[in-house]
Structure 1
Amino acid sequence: MPPSDTSRTAPRPDRLDLVGDAWRRERPDLDVRPQQVIGRLHRVANHLTDELVNVYEQHGLTEGEFDVLATLRRIGPPYERSPGDLVAHTLVTSGGMSKRLDRLERAGLVTRRVSDADARARVVALTERGRDVIDAAFTDHMVNERRLLDALDPADVDALERILRTWLRALEEPPATA
């Protein structure tokens, strides 16, 4: 049988196989399969984060800054939200939001102003330059994510998406808006 056929039926052990074997030897009383799944998911997530961050950096952005700009862009015209809305719709904490907004404003990618509806509130708006930057970064981001998913069989991508959606629903309430 050619090596490629063998590799499909008997994949070579990965780091979690080795860790699992060691734990099964030391603690045969425990089911270590959860560690096999969660550990692989965690390691894949770390690798994916590194791959994604590389693209953001090519556009002069951090992961959090990309997230803020993408949130403003996908809301549609006039591409603005309150800082509180940005915290609710991004992976950025409230403590980190001010720092990111300061940097994005200094770079000319967003502006901050008093809300027309409430003089006590602030609004963050995407500038034209910010829109250009996020459009270019998001295009490259989608190309990169396609490249990463292309390592899998399309049927596996469909199954993985279904499984992760189900799991995520069990772990968190979906937001009302994107």
Structure 2
Amino acid sequence: MRVLDDTGGGIEDHVDRLRAQWARQLPDLDTEPMAILGRAKRISNLVGPSIEKTFAAFGLDRGEFDVIATLRRSGAPYQLTPTDMYTTLMLSSGGLTHRLHRLEKAGLIERTKSNRDGRSVVVGLTQLGITLAEDAFRADMRSEQTYLQGLDREEREALAMLLRKLALSLETRSVVEVLEEQ
């Protein structure tokens, strides 16, 4: 590894090495997207196993946690329709149904008839589900906080702002692309 500089470049990372290889092979190609998107993917891959391990300690996989977390953050009475849930979670209805079945079997959620429409169902957290969602989320945030220790508060805020800006531009682009396809 080589030191790039002490103004934030730090030590050469995996993405720097990949970009250098591509620069030698295709010197006319701008690999700047790798500097951002490649690192975002690499970071996600590096922390993913730890996140999975955190949820596994609570008897959950990441997808199951996503379901109970979606219900918990929706606020009291911690209930949503399956349609609201799979739209929010970007899942197929079949994928959600499978997760709901496992969570119901574990006593974390219950499905009941809607008060507004007797033909539809709402999914709600049980007290055990509320407690587990909160405990797992707190443990996840403690774990994830340790990964940010290499950045001071100002750097974390600046990075969060830039990532938000990029995410918003990509979300807007996705909506436009969907509308253009229609």
Distance change (3 Å), C-alpha of 1:157 and 1:93: farther
In the alignment, the residues of structure 1 paired with residue 74 and residue 34 of structure 2 have an alpha-carbon distance, to the nearest angstrom, of: 38
Cα pair 1:16 1:39 within 8 Å, conserved = yes
Computed over aligned residues only, the root mean square deviation of the Cα atoms, in angstroms, reads 1.9
More off after superposition, 104-113 vs 36-45 = 36-45
Aligned to 2:143: 144
Matched, 1:131 2:126: no
> Deviations along 1:88-109, whole A, 9 cap, x unmatched?
2225443310010000000000
Shift of 1:149: 1.9
In the alignment, the residues of structure 2 paired with residue 32 and residue 170 of structure 1 have an alpha-carbon distance, to the nearest angstrom, of: 20
Choose between structure 1 and 2 for higher RCO, CA contacts under 8 A separated by at least 6 residues: 1
Cα pair 2:4 2:11 within 8 Å, conserved = no
Q: Which runs of 5+ in 2 are unaligned?
A: 173-182
Q: Which runs of 5+ in 1 are unaligned?
A: 174-178
Shift of 1:22: 1.4
Matched, 1:104 2:103: yes
Matched, 1:56 2:63: no
In the alignment, the residues of structure 1 paired with residue 81 and residue 161 of structure 2 have an alpha-carbon distance, to the nearest angstrom, of: 33
Letter in 2 for 1:56: F
Aligned to 2:17: 18
More off after superposition, 48-57 vs 60-69 = 48-57
Aligned to 2:180: none
Cα pair 1:64 1:100 within 8 Å, conserved = yes
- TM-score, normalised by the number of residues in structure 2: 0.85
Letter in 1 for 2:33: P
In the alignment, the residues of structure 1 paired with residue 147 and residue 61 of structure 2 have an alpha-carbon distance, to the nearest angstrom, of: 20
In the alignment, the residues of structure 2 paired with residue 136 and residue 60 of structure 1 have an alpha-carbon distance, to the nearest angstrom, of: 12
Aligned to 1:94: 93
- TM-score, normalised by the number of residues in structure 1: 0.87
